[in-house]
Amino acid sequence: MAIPDQSGFNTGNWTAHYVSSILGGINVPSFELYHATVQDAQVGGALTMGFDLTRIWGGTSIGAGGVSEYSPAAGWLLNPALEFYVFFNYPASGVPPQICCWFRYDLQDPYNAAAARGAGG
């Protein structure tokens, strides 16, 4: 769920921050974000995803009903310590937008395979 921005990158607007304490629950060294959905967002608004406002991966506009989906052409490679943000371009008031991200990982990667077996990275 987005909250009023606390990052300093999107002052006054909604921001969702995927912190390492959340991403740390993904128990492999590398994974990718491959899909995201949004609901309860402001119709006509937009969102931008990235590490900050200067290092952006992409974004999308909010459609009818306050919903949207985003699927990058290629997944964004992440690790559990690499935090990222979802910045909404409208003021933080009313119902906060909800965002759900889907992650996937490759067990052909030897480090991921070792972590999945419980052998560490």
Domain assignment of residue 121, yes or no: no
Domain assignment of residue 23, yes or no: yes
Element (H, E) at 118: none
Domain assignment of residue 113, yes or no: no
Condensed to tens digits (0 to 9), the pLDDT of residues 82-113 reads: 889 999 999 999 999 999 999 999 999 999 99
pLDDT given at position 119: 67
Domain assignment of residue 114, yes or no: no
Number of domains in the chain: 1
Condensed to tens digits (0 to 9), the pLDDT of residues 39-62 reads: 999 999 999 999 888 888 888 899
Question: Which residue has better confidence, 117 or 12?
Answer: 12
Region for 57 from its dihedrals, namely left if φ exceeds 0, alpha if ψ lies in -120 to 50, beta otherwise: alpha
Q: Which residues contact 119 (CB under 8 A, 6 or more apart)?
A: none
In angstroms, the CA 99 to CA 76 distance is 17
Q: What's the pTM value of the predicted model, to 2 decimals?
A: 0.86
